[in-house]
Amino acid sequence: MEFTLEVNWLLILGSAIIAQVLGFIWYSEGLFGKAWMKELKFSSSELELKPSTLALVFIGSILSALVLANFVIFLQAKDFGQGLFIGFLLSIPVFFAMMTQFLFSKKSWKLLFIDALYPAFWLIISGGLFASMIK
């Protein structure tokens, strides 16, 4: 088994950007933002998008994309569909890890699904893109 950092860094960066764009859309008031804020009991005026928070989230997206890309390479995914499947498989432990935290903090199932499906969609989309573009 070999771990490699021989990935296309533009793809990694692109995937991290996709994560940010998807997050802004996902948590917009037009999609899940209103329900998300209602579950957390705060309003849009209370939401702070600090540059330091956004930077840490972006760095986390880069590192997550790097791990996903290496899974795609290691598992030798040959096409978009195989990459989608790898992204889906990796989203399962993410969901259950989040579920554990949500259950112990007594947060709602609705909030869990809003928060957990966002990284799942990103992992699935990025897995497909990596598999179709990494040769």
Number of CB atoms found within 10 A of residue 111's CB: 18
Summarize pLDDT for 14-29 with one digit per residue, the tens.
999 999 999 999 999 9
Note the pLDDT of residue 5.
59
Summarize pLDDT for 67-118 with one digit per residue, the tens.
999 999 999 999 999 999 999 999 999 999 999 999 999 999 999 999 999 9
Q: Which of 57, 74, 56 is nearest to 6 (CA)?
A: 74
pTM of the model: 0.88
Angle formed by the axes of helices 9-26 and 51-74, nearest 10°: 130
Q: Which of 54, 74, 68 is nearest to 129 (CA)?
A: 68
Residue 4 binned pLDDT confidence (cut-offs 50, 70, 90): low
DSSP H or E run through 9? helix 9-26
Note the pLDDT of residue 134.
76
d(CA 115, CA 27): 9
